[in-house]
Chain A
Amino acid sequence: GNSVTQMEGPVTLSEEAFLTINCTYTATGYPSLFWYVQYPGEGLQLLLKATKADDKGSNKGFEATYRKETTSFHLEKGSVQVSDSAVYFCALTQAGTALIFGKGTTLSVSS
C-alpha cells in the first residue's frame, strides 16, 4: 500500500542555517504530495503542496519539488528562524483516499 517515510528527528539548527527534511514515498500512479506543519499546541496546517511530477511547492520561504524518478519530496529552507520550530509532516493522497502521513520530524531552531 501507499506509505510515506521521512527522516527521523529531532533536527536542531541555529537561526539562519539551511534546512533539509527528507521525505520519500511509495505509491502507485501519481499521488499528490504535501507538507503540513504543526506549531506547538496547535493543529496541522498546510505548508505547501505539489500535484504532479516536477512541480515545486513553496510558501513562507519553504520549498519542495515533486521528484517522480526518486519518489521524493524533500522540504528545504535557505535560512530558518526561531519561529519555524515545529513538527513537519510529509503526506500524500490519491483519488478517493484520505491523507497518508509520515511520522513527523521535529525541528528546533535556536537563536
Chain B
Amino acid sequence: NAGVTQTPKFRVLKTGQSMTLLCAQDMNHEYMYWYRQDPGMGLRLIHYSVGEGTTAKGEVPDGYNVSRLKKQNFLLGLESAAPSQTSVYFCASSYTMGQGTIQYFGAGTRLSVL
C-alpha cells in the first residue's frame, strides 16, 4: 500500500530552470494538495485540487502551476525557478475537504535553487 508517492526526492536547479514535481496517490482520493515547508513557517498551501481536471490557488501560489489530468496524479510545475523557491515540498491527499478530514502526506521533495 504505497499511499502518496512523490518524485523526485531531491533536486538541485539553477535559477531560471524549470521542473515538474509529480505526486501520485493510490487511495482514490478526490482532493490533493501541494504545500511548501520552510524553517519557522510551518506548511503553507500552494495549490490544491478538488477533483480531476480542477485546481485552485492556496496561500502562496505565485511562481507555481499545477495540473490534475488524472485523478491519481497531481503535478506541480516551476516554470522559472528562483532561489526563494528553495524549500521542501509536500503533496497530500484526502477523501474530502474540511471538517474532520485526515490528509495523507508524501515523504517530500527537497528542492534547492542556486
- Chain A interface residues toward B at CB < 8 A: 31-32, 34, 36, 41-46, 49, 51, 89, 93-99, 101-104
Contacts and interface: CB of A to CB of B under 8 A. Distances in A.
B43 A89 contact: yes
B74 interface: no
Interface of B: 4, 33, 40-45, 48, 58, 90, 92, 97-108
Contacts, number: 60
B10 to A, nearest CB: 11
18 contacts: A32-B98, A32-B101, A34-B102, A41-B107, A43-B4, A43-B90, A43-B105, A44-B43, A49-B100, A51-B99, A89-B42, A93-B99, A93-B101, A94-B98, A94-B99, A95-B99, A97-B97, A98-B48
Q: In the A-B complex, list the 6 residue pairs whose CB atoms are closest, starting with the nearest.
A: A43-B105, A95-B98, A103-B42, A101-B42, A44-B105, A51-B100
A10 B32 CA distance: 31
Contact of A98 (B4, B42, B58, B106): B58
Contacts of A103: 40-42
Contacts of B4: 43
B114 to A, nearest CB: 22
Contacts of B43: 44, 89, 99, 101
A54 B106 CA distance: 31
Contacts of B42: 89, 101-104
A96 B98 contact: yes
